[in-house]
Structure formats: C-alpha cells, structure tokens
Amino acid sequence: MPILTQDTQPGLSLTNDDVAVVFACGVNWQYHLLNDPDGTKLYGSEQDLRDACPGVRECGIVELEVRVRRWVQPQDIAGLNTTPPPPPSGEA
C-alpha cells in the first residue's frame, strides 16, 4: 500500500484559496448542520445525493460552496497507520 501523503490522499484537499461545490439535503442544511452533533453529510455531486437519499423530492437539495478558513489543527499524515487490518481469522 502506498504511503498516504497530502498529495495522494483521497477526497477533498482544499487550500485557503480553493472553493468546492457540494450538495446537501435541504432539511439537513436547515436543521442538522448546526443543531445535530453528528452534523450533515455533504455530497460531491447532485446525483450522489439523489442516489443516497430517496426523500430529496420532499426535503429539497441545496448547492453549497465550501472553503477552508484555516486549519485549526494541522494534519500530521505521517502519523497515520496506513497498513490495512488483517482479514478476519479463517479468511485469506
């Protein structure tokens, strides 16, 4: 398995100048984003949200922009364990 670095990590890697467009369920945006300790899930595409949430007709979909204001706790990716766990006993 390759070493995980900031250049190779999967997902979003924003600098302070970058903006990402994401999508969220309308009800999650209105209520869960700030009032739910688990927050809300953001999707990278409208279709991903539609596929994951069958109630979007009732809840609506919001398109959002996300940007980094600052890193409160800098990453230390070198400290991550990137070795996959062994398979359960009895499996190869």
pLDDT of 92 reads 55
- In the chain, where are the structural domains located? 19-68
Q: Are 44 and 22 in contact (CB under 8 A)?
A: yes
In this predicted model, what pLDDT tens digit does every residue of 22-69 receive, in sequence order?
999 999 889 888 888 888 899 999 999 999 999 999 999 999 998 888
78: left (phi over 0), alpha (psi -120 to 50) or beta: alpha
What is the pTM (predicted TM-score) of this model?
A: 0.64
